[in-house]
């Protein structure tokens, strides 16, 4: 089946469901019935269906790109954050106390705050520059309404950052790190933008302009951590159903990587209890079942 027919079929078959994230007020106003799907192939061609050109809040999908940017400089971040699944909610504090302020992995909030701190001042601008180049969309930006709303409801993230600071695992001022982190999460992108921006992970580290962001091992590692930790305490279920490295965000987006073939982004704002898009995971399950494209 042609990819265009395939994405059309999946978009026609899935039913958006679940609850829109309510803890960030600006996100709570998103249409729960929206659905978009885009597949970008290695040559940069994009096959899209539904609301694949509608920008949405990337939220925790940003964590993949900040990790890749940190690893493109050096491996030092791994002394400050682990790479084991947490089995806990994405914003949980509990493991930090028994694990000396070292978060389990870079894709839960605590871990992503450490990665942002590691990137240092200007982390969000660096991320924006990278995403504009890779997506080919120079107009990409932070959604100021989401950023303001999220910053006004960031007690939990501040608590995580202060707690890690008490263990010596924050270099910059906590308020500055939380502000940078919130800006990263508040970037608005469409499925088409995100699928193109994720292609470097399908191309074993090579950016859309042919230069390398990561070595082959670096790209393998980011993909591996996505598979084991990208959907928080549902990572096992996601691997079981989809069989691909994937990363979700509470804006309802999910990206997935088929190494050597394509990058996929699906968006539907209705979430399950673990904060993953219900129709998004369903669409990816159908995609790998219909194509047979998985890492297994
Ligand atoms: N899972 C997510 O997408 C969470 C990101 C959100 N910005 C938060 O910090 O809570």
The pLDDT tens digits of the residues spanning 117-160 come to 999 999 999 999 999 999 999 999 999 999 999 999 999 999 99
Residue 236 in contact with residue 275, Cβ under 8 Å? no
Q: Is residue 68 part of a domain?
A: yes
In a domain? residue 296: no
pTM above 0.95, yes or no: yes
- Judged by DSSP in three states, 3 sits in helix
Q: Is residue 282 situated within a structural domain?
A: yes
In a domain, 24, yes or no: yes
Residue ranges lining ligand 1, Cβ < 6 Å: 59-60, 90-91, 109, 150, 157, 185, 249-250, 275
In what helix (H) or strand (E) does residue 149 lie, and over which residues does it extend?
helix 144-151
Whether the pLDDT of residue 1 is over 80: the answer is no
Q: Give the pLDDT mean for 256-282.
A: 97
Average of per-residue pLDDT across 22-31: 90
Which atom of ligand 1 is nearest the CA belonging to 60?
Answer: 3
Domain that holds residue 40: 3-291
Tell me the backbone φ, ψ of residue 7, rounded to 5 degrees: -65, -35
> What are the CA-CA distances from residue 59 to residues 78, 80, 136, 212, 269 (Å)?
22, 22, 20, 25, 12
DSSP for 229-265 reads: HTTGGGHHHHHHHT-S-EEE-TTSEEEEEETTTEEEE
Number of C-beta neighbours around residue 79 at 10 A: 10
For this structure, is 60 an active site residue? yes
Known catalytic residue at 20: no
Residue 126: predicted pLDDT: 97
Higher-confidence position of 22 and 106: 106
Share of the chain above pLDDT 90, in %: 95
The ipTM of this complex is 0.95
Residue 20, in any domain of the structure: yes
**Mean of pLDDT over the chain:** 96
What is the structure's pLDDT at 135? 98
**For 74-106, what is each residue's pLDDT tens digit?**
999 999 999 999 999 999 999 999 999 999 999
Give me the CATH number covering residue 224: 3.40.710.10
Atom of ligand 1 nearest to the CA of 154: 9
Domain count for the chain, please give it.
Answer: 1
Q: Are 296 and 243 in contact (CB under 8 A)?
A: yes
Cα separation, 153 vs 2, whole angstroms? 44
């Amino acid at each position: 089946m042609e990819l265009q027919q395939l994405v059309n079929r999946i978009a026609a078959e899935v039913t958006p469901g679940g609850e829109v994230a309510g803890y960030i007020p600006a996100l709570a106003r998103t249409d729960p019935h929206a659905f978009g799907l885009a597949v970008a192939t290695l040559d940069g061609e994009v096959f899209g269906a539904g609301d694949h050109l509608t920008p949405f809040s990337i939220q925790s999908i940003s964590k993949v790109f900040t990790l890749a940017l940190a690893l493109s400089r050096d491996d030092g971040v791994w002394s400050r954050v682990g790479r084991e699944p947490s089995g806990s909610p994405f914003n949980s504090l509990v493991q930090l106390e028994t694990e000396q302020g070292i978060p389990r992995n870079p894709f839960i909030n605590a871990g992503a705050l450490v990665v942002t701190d590691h990137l240092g001042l200007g982390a969000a601008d660096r991320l924006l520059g990278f995403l504009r180049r890779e997506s080919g969309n120079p107009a990409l930006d932070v959604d100021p309404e989401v950023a303001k709303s999220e910053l006004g409801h960031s007690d939990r993230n501040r608590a995580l950052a202060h707690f890690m600071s008490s263990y010596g695992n924050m270099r910059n001022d906590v308020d500055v790190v939380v502000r940078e982190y919130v800006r990263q999460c508040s970037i608005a992108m469409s499925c088409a933008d995100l699928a193109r921006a994720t292609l470097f992970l399908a191309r074993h580290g090579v950016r859309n302009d042919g230069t390398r962001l990561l070595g082959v091992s670096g790209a393998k590692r980011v993909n591996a951590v996505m598979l084991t930790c990208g959907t928080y305490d549902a990572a096992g279920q996601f691997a079981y159903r989809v069989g691909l490295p994937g990363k979700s965000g509470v804006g309802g987006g999910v990206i997935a990587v088929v190494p050597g073939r394509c990058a996929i982004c699906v968006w539907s704002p209705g979430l399950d209890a673990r904060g993953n898009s219900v129709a998004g995971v369903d669409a990816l399950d159908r995609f790998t079942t219909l194509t047979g494209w998985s890492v297994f």
